[in-house]
């Protein structure tokens, strides 16, 4: 797993960015949240890869994995923007790359 340290660094960066975004949201008096639920098709083929994706999403503030079944990941997002960011697929691609040989 030579890609794992790079993934950890990327995930740490994403957690920090998400933490700052959520802090900004809750400090605004209007608290402009727009909760939404999205479904992603996991690119990871193995159960372990799919669990890594789900856990990585849950570790990022403002998102939580609600369900993982047959390669589909159900995610609650605090904002529409965070849902759109997830749908771009960066996390999905990075986790799938961990499985690549």
Output the DSSP codes for 83-98.
HHHHHHTHHHHHHHHH
At residue 58, the pLDDT reads 98
Alpha helices by DSSP H, listed for the chain, are: 4-27, 47-59, 80-88, 90-99
- The two structure tokens encoding residue 31: 């608290």
Number of folded domains that form the chain: 1
Class of residue 97 by CB neighbours under 10 A (exposed 0-12, middle 13-18, buried 19+): middle
At residue 101, the pLDDT reads 65
Low-confidence ranges of the chain (pLDDT < 50): none
At residue 90, the pLDDT reads 96
Domain that holds residue 85: 4-99
pTM exceeds 0.75: yes
- The two structure tokens encoding residue 20: 């700052």
At residue 3, the pLDDT reads 82
């Amino acid at each position: 797993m030579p890609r794992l340290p790079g993934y950890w660094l990327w995930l740490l960066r994403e957690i920090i960015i998400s933490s700052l975004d959520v802090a900004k949201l809750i400090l605004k008096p209007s608290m402009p949240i727009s909760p939404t639920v999205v479904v992603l098709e996991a690119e990871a083929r193995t159960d372990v890869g799919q669990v890594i994706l789900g856990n990585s999403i849950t570790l990022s503030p403002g998102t939580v994995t609600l369900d993982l079944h047959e390669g589909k990941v159900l995610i609650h997002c605090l904002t529409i923007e965070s849902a759109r960011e997830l749908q771009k697929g960066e996390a999905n691609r990075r986790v799938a790359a961990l499985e690549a040989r």
